[in-house]
Amino acid sequence: MEDVFIYDHVRTPRGKGRPDGALHEIPPVQLVTQVLEAVRDRSELDTALLDDVVIGCAQPVSEQGGVLARAAVLNADYSETVAAQQIHRFCASGLEAVNNVAAQIGAGMASAGIGGGVESMSRVKLGYDTGAWVADPGVAFNNYYAPQGIGADIIATLEGYEREDVDAFAAESQKRAALAWNERRFDRSIVPVKDVMGEIILDNDEYRRPETTVETLASLKPAFPALAAMGYDRIAKERYPQIEELKHVHTGGNSSGIVDGAGVVLLGNEGFGKSAGLKPRARIRGWATIGSEPTIMLTGPFAVAKKALKHTGMSKDDIDLWELNEAFASVVMRFMDHMEVDHSKMNVNGGAIALGHPLGATGAMILGTVLDELERQDLNTAMTLLCAGNGLGIATIIERV
């Protein structure tokens, strides 16, 4: 494979995915447009050098459908020769978009491109793309479909995580995110979002609650007993008959936040860097995708991490920093336990519990976050991972150059 380099990364701050969230009035195509403009303008990039812009999205319907990437390419006034495509691999979409561009470059069929993702969860609501896996009753029934929150509680039950454990993890995520913001660790990547007048409407991750403690989290109600009562607890037990009673430990406070946002990664081969006058920041070492048990649907990261290490001939100890999307506290806790990864190396600047998880965008965002952190700590390698709908999992390994 030809070397594939990361030249840059930008992302929007994450707005609360609600009608009172700052980004609610900004259509998803504008979010992508603004990050495309930013990544171009700050490098004075000739966009005709790009072959493809790939944008992941987990609800690619209505205003997020119709190959949003192409609409944004034209809307951002990129060269009309730049191709575009939309990627849907649930929550893995943003990272899959990066991997897709890397694959094109690595195969020698493209010299540069942009991979990224977008999700305006306040506008295109979770579940609006439906799909057979959830909404075809025969398929859902036969595949023991259960919503992700149930899967997160299954993990906690099987692994013996109590409410205090997951809340402690969540409080730590908030603490780390607060420190990161205080120390302006995200500055290199954040592009404030502007409204129609050109005024800045959001310049920070507004979902955060830095004052959070284990005690404040303890007062929150479990989020998923109502779903369980609809029959998903029985489905969980049919799949995991060793469970006597599902423990509902996940709440809004220790699950990922619903937010709006977009992020992109500029990738290219060596020649592109020369033509564009850019210095590479990191190399893509490799990646992997996997399917795992779909009722829990959140255990893919462990298996896919091992697969990615195998692809790259690396070992666990070769990875300096880990970035695993905090879909739910139990997801990351399970990964650290099974993979034997120290918490000090995992999600150093907090994760989606504190910052929010704009589904299709997150993969591209956290890849950039961990790259910034590698540079800050002057470390070399990192693995970025996400669990995704219906049991999918994804991993990408990067290495600084």
Partner 1 sequence: MTNRYRHIRIEKGSDGVALLILDNADEKMNVVADRFIADMSTAIEELRKDDSVQGVILTSAKPAFMAGADLKLMVTGFDRMTALEAYEFSHNATRMHRALETMGKPVACAMNGLALGGGFELALACHYRVLSEDPKAIVGLPEVTLGLLPASGGTQRLTRIIGMEKALPLLLTGKALAPRKALEAGIVDALAPADKVVEKAREWLASSPEPSQPWDRKGFFLPEMRGMMAPEAAMSASFAAANIVRDAGYHLPAPLAILRAVSEGIQLPMNRALSLESKYFATLLTDPVARNMIRTTFISKQAAQKGARRPEGVPKTEFKKVGVIGAGMMGSGIALVSAAAGLDVVLIDRDTASAEKGKGYSEKVWGKQVSRGQLTQDKMDQMLARITPTDDFAVLEGCDIVIEAVFEDTDIKAETTRKVEAVVPEHAVYASNTSTLPITGLANASKRPDQFIGMHFFSPVDRMALLEIIVGEKTSSETLATAIDFGMLVHKIPIVVNDSRGFYTSRVFQTLIYEGAAMLEDGVEPARIENAAKAAGFPVGPLALIDEVTADLPIKINEQAIEQNDPNYVARGGVDVLKKMIELGRSSRKSGAGFYEYPPEGKKHLWQGLAEHFPSAEEQPDQEHLVQRFLYAQSIESARCLEQGVLETPEDADLGSVYGWGFPAWTGGTLSYIDTVGIEEFVKQADALTQKYGERFAPSNWLRKRAEKGESFYDAPAAKADMELA
Tokens of 240: 């995991």
Judged by CB, which is closer to partner 1: 8, or 129?
A: 129
Give the nearest distance from C-beta 67 to partner 1 in angstroms: 19
Among 135, 200, 218, 401, binds partner 1 (CB under 8 A): 135
57: annotated active-site residue: no
Q: Mark the segment that binds partner 1 (CB under 8 A) among 173-181, 236-244, 301-309, 336-344.
A: 236-244
Judged by CB, which is closer to partner 1: 60, or 280?
A: 60
**Rounded CA gap, 64 and 53, in Å?**
15
Q: Mark the segment that binds partner 1 (CB under 8 A) among 66-74, 137-145, 301-309, 332-340.
A: 137-145
Binding-site size, partner 1 (CB under 8 A): 29
Interactions with partner 1, residue window 241-270 (CB under 8 A)? 241-245
Among 230, 277, 377, 401, binds partner 1 (CB under 8 A): 230
Query: Helix, strand, or coil here: 365?
Result: helix
Please name the amino acid found at residue 8.
D
Q: Site map for partner 1, 86-125, x if CB under 8 A?
A: ---------------------------------------x
Give the nearest distance from C-beta 131 to partner 1 in angstroms: 7
Neighbours of 46 (CB within 10 A): 12
Among 72, 73, 92, 235, binds partner 1 (CB under 8 A): 235
Q: Catalytic pick from 24, 88, 91, 250?
A: 91
139 phi-psi bin (left φ>0, alpha ψ -120 to 50, beta other):
alpha
Give the nearest distance from C-beta 350 to partner 1 in angstroms: 32
Among 7, 90, 181, 232, binds partner 1 (CB under 8 A): 232
**H-type alpha helices, 242-328:** 270-276, 300-312
Is residue 140 within 8 A of residue 174, CB to CB? The reply is no
* Strand 282-291 with 200-202, pairing: unpaired
77 phi-psi bin (left φ>0, alpha ψ -120 to 50, beta other):
left
Is residue 230 within 8 A of residue 223, CB to CB? The reply is no
**Can residue 226 be called a binding residue for partner 1 (CB under 8 A)?**
no
Is residue 68 within 8 A of residue 53, CB to CB? The reply is no
Judged by CB, which is closer to partner 1: 126, or 401?
A: 126
Tokens of 236: 């969980």
**Rounded CA gap, 116 and 45, in Å?**
17
SS3 content of the chain, % helix, strand, coil (to 5): 45, 20, 35
User: Between the CA atoms of 210, 254, 391 and 380, what dihedral angle is there, to the nearest 10 degrees?
Assistant: 40
Among 95, 146, 190, 333, binds partner 1 (CB under 8 A): 146
Is residue 124 within 8 A of residue 262, CB to CB? The reply is no
Judged by CB, which is closer to partner 1: 64, or 347?
A: 64
Give the nearest distance from C-beta 229 to partner 1 in angstroms: 8
357: annotated active-site residue: yes
**Can residue 127 be called a binding residue for partner 1 (CB under 8 A)?**
yes
- Residues of this chain that interact with partner 1 (CB under 8 A) are 125, 127-128, 130-132, 134-138, 140-141, 145-146, 229-235, 237-238, 241-245
Catalytic residue set? 91, 357, 387
